[in-house]
């Protein structure tokens, strides 16, 4: 019996010493009192070099030693064990051993105090594979970004000639044509619109893959959106002889806050697909309210059709890029298979999920749900209403077209000619700045991508010019508004006209500007009025400072940017308030130190903030102080008077922003 016990003990000891993992036992102060042969071999030590001579923390690098003291023991005390803690362990030759440590506490027993037992796993191979996986992941992400960037560049390049094709197609439809020519023009327009849809899908996909797409929240009329979608697809449905129905639950609030454009894009893709794959019967879009939490509401959108349906085994593949249910479907109905992929990803961006159910030859149902916020707005101006260009002329407007592409200029000129608009065209930002001195434009159609001086820098220089009136600047761009919104705001560009554009989009901008001009009488709310008279004329003992009769500030531009939403308006005012408090401090430091460069830097830095609240009076005063500091012999008394008036103007603006 004793022999058997000895054999068992010998076997157990052999298993312990030669286990596939390291084992070490240590006391509360870290002193090692037992260690197996496996760990000794891994670390290059003999047992007698470790036992009662080294502590476990002394085998770690400095970071591991600190962690051992500050985290290791407290964690053991709290829970009695630790699982899978990574440590870099130093071997005898000072090389590093990558170990994963599991520790358990051995409670005190009789005369034996509390101690700890640890098992250590060699994870060198695992670390190697992790590094390789991370490198592969990094490379895949880099490749994906390169692909997305190339796709975006190509798509942008396609938009420029496509703008000409679409423009010519629209212009041809407005000229006398025989029947054959009408067919040709219709085919040209239809094909170019199809190509534009493809380019837009490719561009959207590239932005999603490059993580350049973000949500935009603003109030919109959900009833109007559904109505516009019905009008848009009614013609296609009628051509195919199918019915198009829309149903919106009565208790849904008309004005809600969310990303209208992305919702519209998803619904456009789903309705377009349903109509395309339905040969008879009907397509129906329904909207219902399925949940409420305070001001938050969850709306469910269902697009149902009686089309060809989708086989069960193909329900997943239809969401893959460039894939359709079958090769026959692709040949018969055409398309790239990108619509559902993009819709799915757009919904995921909004924490939603696109669900589908379908039965072959009976139809399909697509549905999703999105949370929106009830809006405080009572109504919104309809911006998407059909426009009849024959009812509008703009003889009282002056437009400047700035684009380095002759085709884009030609298309814009043709529309402006039709609407009897006074215009001038230039092919560079520098020429635009030069001509504005003699041609007081009301609107500048400005291409963003131009050589030498791009659209953003051109806009900034225009805003810095001392013009009798500042024009409305409209970005003429192949980029979507969401992509360049921040740059547009920073450079003082108010509107955005995408390339390619439909004539109604340009007409809508002209019409909105003209109506705003008419209602205000003295010009658009975005103009920065020039001073009536120089304030540096000769003065008596005290300075006579002439200022404009207009108000010190005007928040109408902020109200427009906020879409009359009080929450967003307050955000604009609060951030601008902080800026003006700092501007006032910088102004007084610059004047107090007679530092012209600092004052020039302040004037440049504050240009956009002043522009947004139309603080024209402050602009004049800052320029006057700059002029006085630049005089060879500055009259300190006169400068003091200007400084006092400027500070008073700062206070008026700060008080107005703080209300």
3-state secondary structure 581-629: HHHHHHHHHHHHCCCHHHHHHHHHHHHHHHHHHCCHHHHHHHHHHHHHH
pLDDT at 605 over 50: yes
pLDDT at 295 over 50: yes
pLDDT at 327 over 50: no
pLDDT at 467 over 70: yes
Average pLDDT over residues 413-434: 89
CB 337, CB 322: distance < 8 Å = yes
pLDDT at 297 over 90: yes
pLDDT at 216 over 50: yes
Pick from 79-83, 141-145, 175-179, 292-296: least confident:
141-145
State the pLDDT at residue 184: 72
pLDDT at 242 over 60: yes
State the pLDDT at residue 531: 30
State the pLDDT at residue 210: 60
Average pLDDT, the chain: 78
Fold entry, domain 129-209 = Helix Hairpins (1.10.287)
Average pLDDT over residues 538-556: 49
pLDDT at 388 over 70: no
CA distance 300 to 106: 58
Pick from 147-156, 319-328, 429-438, 515-524: least confident:
319-328
State the pLDDT at residue 367: 92
For the chain, the structural domain boundaries read 2-122, 129-209, 218-374, 389-520, 556-658
Q: Do domains 218-374 and 389-520 have the same CATH topology?
A: no
Higher-pLDDT residue of 492, 559:
492
CATH of domain 389-520: 3.40.50.2300
Q: What percent of the chain has pLDDT over 70?
A: 77
CA distance 113 to 658: 68
Average pLDDT over residues 210-230: 80
Q: Got the DSSP string for 227-287?
A: HHHHHHHHHHHHHHT-EEEEEE-TTS-SEEEE-HHHHHHHHHHHHHHHHHT-SSSEEEEEE
State the pLDDT at residue 445: 94
DSSP H or E segment with residue 47: helix 47-50
Q: What are the pLDDT digits (tens) for 333-364?
A: 334 456 678 888 888 888 898 888 888 888 88
Residues near 224 by Cβ (< 8 Å), separated by ≥ 6? Answer: 254, 380, 382, 384
CB 223, CB 248: distance < 8 Å = yes
> Which pairs from 333-340 meet CB under 8 Å and 24+ separation?
333/276, 333/277, 335/276, 336/198, 336/201, 338/198, 338/201, 338/202, 338/205, 339/201, 339/269, 339/270, 339/272, 339/273, 340/269, 340/273
- pLDDT tier at 325, thresholds 50, 70, 90: very low
State the pLDDT at residue 528: 34
CA distance 442 to 399: 6
Average pLDDT over residues 241-249: 91
CB 550, CB 529: distance < 8 Å = yes
Q: What are the pLDDT digits (tens) for 62-105?
A: 877 877 777 777 777 778 888 878 788 888 888 888 888 888 98
Residue (of 107, 124, 111) closest to 28 by Cα position:
107
Q: Taking the CB of residue 534, how many other CB atoms lie within 10 A of it? A: 11
Pick from 148-162, 258-272, 381-395, 404-418: least confident:
381-395
Average pLDDT over residues 270-283: 88
- Give, in order, the Cα–Cα distances in Å from 493 to each of 80, 475, 559, 562, 612: 64, 7, 16, 15, 11
* Three-state DSSP state, 465: coil
CATH class of 556-658: mainly alpha
State the pLDDT at residue 80: 82
Tell me the Cα Rg of the chain: 36
Average pLDDT over residues 226-237: 83
Average pLDDT over residues 286-311: 90
Average pLDDT over residues 105-118: 86
Average pLDDT over residues 384-410: 72
Q: Taking the CB of residue 353, how many other CB atoms lie within 10 A of it? A: 11
Beta strands in 434-505 (DSSP E): 443-447, 472-477, 495-498
pLDDT at 464 over 60: yes
Q: What percent of the chain has pLDDT over 90?
A: 13
Cis peptide before 611 (omega within 30 of 0): no
304, HSE (Cβ side, Cα atoms, 13 Å): 12
Entry pTM: 0.44
CA distance 587 to 583: 6
Q: What are the pLDDT digits (tens) for 57-70?
A: 888 888 778 777 77
- pLDDT tier at 299, thresholds 50, 70, 90: very high
State the pLDDT at residue 593: 86
pLDDT at 223 over 50: yes
Q: Which residue has the tokens 């009686």?
A: 306
pLDDT at 22 over 70: yes
Alpha helices in 116-259 (DSSP H): 124-173, 179-209, 222-240
CB 488, CB 498: distance < 8 Å = no
State the pLDDT at residue 229: 84
pLDDT at 607 over 80: no
pLDDT at 655 over 80: yes
Looking at the DSSP assignment, which residues form a beta bridge with residue 284? 245, 304
Q: Taking the CB of residue 297, how many other CB atoms lie within 10 A of it? A: 20
Fold entry, domain 218-374 = Heat Shock Protein 90 (3.30.565)
Assign domain 2-122 to its CATH superfamily: PAS domain (3.30.450.20)
């Amino acid at each position: 019996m004793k022999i058997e016990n000895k054999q068992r003990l010998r076997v157990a000891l052999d298993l312990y010493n030669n286990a596939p993992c390291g084992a070490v036992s240590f006391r509360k102060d870290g002193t090692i009192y037992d260690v197996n042969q496996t760990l000794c071999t891994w670390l290059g030590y003999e047992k007698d070099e470790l036992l009662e001579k080294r502590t476990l923390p002394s085998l770690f690098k400095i970071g591991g030693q600190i962690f051992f003291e500050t985290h290791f023991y407290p964690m053991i005390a709290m829970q009695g064990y630790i699982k899978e803690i990574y440590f870099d362990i130093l071997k005898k030759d000072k090389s590093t051993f990558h170990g994963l440590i599991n520790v358990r506490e051995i409670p005190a027993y009789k005369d034996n105090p509390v101690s700890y037992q640890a098992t250590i796993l060699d994870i060198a191979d695992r670390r190697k594979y992790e590094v390789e996986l991370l490198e592969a992941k990094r490379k895949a992400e880099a490749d994906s970004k390169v692909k997305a960037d190339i796709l975006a560049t190509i798509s942008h390049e396609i938009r420029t000639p496509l703008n000409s094709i679409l423009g010519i197609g629209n212009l041809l439809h407005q000229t006398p044509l025989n029947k054959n020519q009408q067919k040709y023009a219709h085919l040209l327009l239809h094909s170019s619109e199809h190509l534009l849809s493809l380019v837009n899908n490719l561009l959207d996909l590239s932005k999603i893959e490059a993580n350049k797409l973000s949500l935009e929240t603003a109030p919109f009329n959900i009833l109007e959106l559904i109505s516009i979608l019905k009008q848009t697809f009614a013609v296609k449905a009628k051509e195919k002889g199918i019915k198009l129905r829309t149903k919106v639950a009565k208790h849904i609030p008309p004005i809600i806050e969310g990303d209208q454009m992305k919702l519209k894009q998803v619904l456009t893709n789903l309705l377009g697909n349903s109509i395309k794959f339905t040969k008879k019967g009907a397509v129906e879009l329904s909207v219902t309210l399925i949940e409420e939490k305070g001001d938050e509401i969850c709306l469910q959108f269902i697009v149902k059709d009686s089309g060809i349906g989708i086989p069960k085994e193909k329900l997943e593949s239809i969401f893959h890029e460039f894939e359709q249910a079958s090769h026959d479907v692709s040949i018969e109905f055409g398309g790239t298979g990108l619509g559902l992929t993009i819709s799915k990803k757009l919904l995921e961006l909004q924490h939603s999920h696109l669900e589908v159910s379908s039965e072959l030859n009976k139809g399909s149902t697509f549905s999703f749900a999105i949370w929106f916020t009830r809006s405080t707005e009572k109504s919104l101006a309809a911006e998407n209403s059909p426009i009849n260009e024959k009812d509008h002329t703009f003889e009282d407007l002056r437009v400047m077209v700035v684009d380095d592409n002759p085709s884009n200029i030609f298309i814009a000129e043709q529309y402006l000619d039709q609407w009897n608009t006074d215009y001038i065209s230039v092919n560079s930002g520098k020429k635009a700045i030069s001509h504005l001195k003699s041609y007081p434009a009301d609107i500048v159609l400005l291409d963003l991508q131009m050589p030498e001086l791009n659209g953003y820098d051109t806009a900034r220089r225009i805003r810095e010019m001392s013009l009798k009136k500042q024009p409305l600047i409209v970005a003429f761009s192949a980029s979507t508004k969401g992509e360049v919104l921040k740059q547009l705001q920073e450079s003082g560009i108010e509107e955005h006209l995408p390339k390619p554009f439909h004539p109604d989009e340009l007409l809508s901008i002209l019409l909105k500007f003209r109506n705003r001009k008419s209602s205000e009488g003295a010009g658009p709310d975005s103009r920065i009025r020039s001073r009536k008279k120089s304030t540096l004329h000769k003065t008596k003992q005290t300075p006579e400072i002439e200022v404009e009769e207009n108000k010190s500030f005007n928040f109408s531009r902020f109200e427009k940017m906020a879409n009359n939403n009080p929450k967003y308006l307050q955000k604009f005012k609060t951030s601008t308030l902080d800026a003006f408090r700092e501007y006032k401090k910088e102004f007084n430091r610059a004047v107090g130190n007679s530092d012209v460069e600092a004052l020039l830097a302040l004037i440049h830095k504050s240009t956009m903030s002043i522009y947004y609240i139309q603080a024209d009076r402050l602009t004049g005063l800052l320029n006057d102080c700059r002029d006085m500091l630049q005089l060879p012999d500055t009259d300190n008394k006169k400068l003091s008077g200007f400084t006092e008036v400027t500070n008073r103007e700062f206070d008026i603006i700060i008080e107005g922003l703080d209300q």
